[in-house]
Amino acid sequence: MMRNKSLWFSLLGLGVGLFVACSADPPIVESTRHYSSYRTPSGNAYSGIQNQSQNSGYGTSYNTGPTLSASTILSQVNVKRDLLPYGARGRSRKSMNPQYITIHSTQNWSEGADANRHSLALKRGALGRLSWHYTTDEYRAVQHLPTTEQGNHADYDGPGNRYSIGIEMCEHPGNSRSATLERTAKLAAWLCVKHNLSVSKVVPHYKWPRHGKKPPNKNCPHFLLENGRPGAKWQGFLRAVGVYHRAMTGR
């Protein structure tokens, strides 16, 4: 039986920057909202997933049947539905049958640039035609687009935009990276179940090359990549997604 414990991720160092939505030429999302600092629980740091116990039942042998319903996982994600108006610049109005889930980081270190602020920026058209489906922070996930509509978050007119659900993780000062990663892992797992996708279909923005850019494959989400490429940290994140996926499906 899966213990009712959170999965904690290592809190990696925050960088310095001003850009949002890990796009080719991203604008700035400004905010004056103040956040107090956040401390993660003590314990040994891992590059990816950190279990509370080495014998907590989170290993690959966990296949004893579902222990958490999809509705329970979704309630833990705390989704706020705040869709862009149908006529907004970021609405493609193009239908999509999702085949992947693409994970991004905002690369926006402006004070208070949380999920709500990104939602407001998208609705106001401040980010041009950029759009994605969810933004996650330590408290919530805000949904901006239906998951059956194309966004503009990965590779212009490439398969990343045409066939993937985009999730942006916030990085503003005071935001807990570990809590944001955990929320994102739960959301990605739930979306896999909803759209009948395997965990292997959860991919970093890095997967989608951008025509005309050097390098074509972006270092995103930068804090889950190593030397700009997926490695142990990314695999740790996928293991966390797998834990929640198995909790809902038993496989």
Which of 176, 177, 179, 235 has its CA nearest to residue 202?
Answer: 235
* 3-state SS assignment for residue 206: helix
Query: What CATH number should be reported for the domain holding residue 72?
Result: 3.40.80.10
Domain membership of residue 42 (yes or no) is: no
In this structure, what token pair is assigned to residue 219?
A: 């270092």
Q: Please give the residue range of the domain that contains residue 98.
A: 65-249
State how far the Cα of 223 lies from the Cα of 52, in Å rounded to an integer: 22
Beta bridge partners of 104: 168
The answer to whether position 85 is within a domain reads yes
Residue 26 belongs to a domain: no
Opening angle at CA 79, ends 161 and 89, nearest 5: 40
Overall domain count for the chain: 1
Six-digit token string for 147: 């998951």
pLDDT of residue 161: 97
Instruction: Check residue 65 and give its pLDDT.
Output: 62
Chain length of the chain? 251
- Considering only CA atoms, give the Rg of the chain: 17
Q: Which pLDDT score, from 0 to 100, does residue 197 have?
A: 98
Q: Which residue has the tokens 């850019």?
A: 213
What integer pLDDT is reported at residue 66 of this predicted model? Answer: 79
Residue 57 covered by a domain:
no
Establish if 60 belongs to a structural domain.
no
Residue 2 lies in a domain: no
Whether residue 10 is contained in a domain is answered as no
Within the chain, which residues score under 70 in pLDDT? Answer: 1-65
Predicted pLDDT of residue 22: 61
pTM of the predicted structure, to 2 decimals: 0.79
Query: What pLDDT sits at residue 195?
Result: 98
| Calculated CA dihedral for residues 54, 60, 65, 68, nearest 10 degrees | 60
Question: For 209, what's the count of Cα atoms within 13 Å in the CB-facing half-sphere?
Answer: 5
In a domain, residue 24? The reply is no
Place of tokens 């804090």: 223
